[in-house]
Amino acid sequence: MAHDHSHHEHGHPVVLENINRAFIVGIVLNLLFVVIEAGVGIYIDSLSLLSDAGHNLADVGSLALSLLAFRLLKVKANEKYTYGYRKTSILAALFNAVILLVSIGAIIYEAIHRFFEPAVLPGKTIAIVAGIGIIINFCTAILFRGNKEKDMNVKSAYLHLMADALVSVAMVVGGIIILFTGWYWIDPLLGILVSVVILIGTWHLLKDSLRLSLDGVPKDIDMETVKKNTLRVKGIKAVHHVHVWAMSTTENAMTGHFILEDGTSLEEEAKIKQELRHEMQHLQINHLTIETERDDLDCEEKDCK
């Protein structure tokens, strides 16, 4: 069997526009709001404001970690880290998910306690502070909208901020209800609603980031489609030992053994590799390592077909 080993083809990674500015603006605005919301929450003893402030603080931490991860993506590879620090963007997403899950537990615990001993609260103040939150979260989320389908961390930031805006809408409504009815149990109820919103978004983030941390196949890539598109390239008879994983939240990699038709010349092989690279780029695979074979008689693997 003839082998041609270790041909590396590099596609172009996803380009994120104005992402540093979006993260910096998001961090500053949300940190300012956390200070305001937490201060008012402590002053009036409102669980909904304090829980939302805690959630927003976690979001600030998430934004900061994501920004750090994007900065580390630009650090060049070296002898000890031959892929550079690309993986930090995935680890940041995983860490963010864990932090949010911990905050959910704390909020729900306190909310249950408050149901039995609701505090007397000024509904108007809650509504005003939550109204400020709507403006800040919505405006910040818009900064990430253009890049949200290009990267897991950016999409996470966008979804969290939009969810925060919706939670703030619910808190405005809750504040108005408290103002006119005196139903103070609405406050811990809003705290639980905040937790549910966080849980839904965080669960998906946790699953996705954990899978990528374990070098699982990214959710937007279907292995059957990868193999099918590979066999569309003229000159490739079969493919086996295919592995696809995420190098970062914006770059995917693939290795595979590609069996060429008998008699394929070196010039034809070069063209096959170029076409294969383009096919994989359409599937968001940027880094391709190719091993070519010219005879499949000795291949006994089940996926050699």
pLDDT digits (tens, 9 = 90+) for 119-170: 778 888 988 998 998 999 888 888 887 766 666 667 777 877 887 887 788 8
Q: Sorting pLDDT into bands at 50, 70 and 90, what band is 55?
A: confident
Q: Is residue 177 scored above 80 in pLDDT?
A: yes
pLDDT tens-digit readout, 188-203: 887 787 778 778 777 8
pLDDT score recorded for residue 135: 92
- Give the DSSP H/E element, type plus range, for residue 10: strand 3-10
70 CB contacts (<8 Å, ≥6 apart)? 16, 19, 20, 23, 89, 153
pLDDT band at residue 96 using 50, 70 and 90 as cut-offs: confident
Q: Is 150 inside any structural domain?
A: yes
Residues in the chain: 305
CATH number at residue 172: 1.20.1510.10
Q: What is the mean pLDDT of residues 6-31?
A: 67
Question: Whole domain around residue 187: which residue ranges?
Answer: 19-213
**Which is higher by pLDDT, 201 or 258?**
258
pLDDT given for residue 18 in this prediction: 60
Compute the average pLDDT of residues 34-58: 84
Report the C-alpha dihedral over residues 175, 173, 140, 16, rounded to 10 degrees: 140
Q: pLDDT band for 5, please (50, 70, 90 cuts).
A: very low
Answer yes or no: do 130 and 163 share one domain.
yes
> End-to-end CA distance of the chain, in Å?
16
Mean pLDDT confidence for 258-282? 87
Residue 73 sits in the same domain as residue 191 = yes
Shared domain for 184 and 257, answered yes or no, is no
In this structure, is residue 9 part of a structural domain? no
Residue 75 sits at φ, ψ, to 5 deg, of -70, 130
Total domains in the chain come to 2
Question: Dihedral through CA 191, CA 196, CA 202, CA 204, nearest 10?
Answer: -170
Among 213, 245, 261, identify where a domain stops: 213
92 and 39 in a common domain: yes
Q: How large is the average pLDDT for residues 199-219?
A: 85
Percent of the chain at pLDDT above 90? 9
**Do 57 and 183 fall into the same domain?**
yes
- Say whether both 68 and 205 belong to one domain: yes
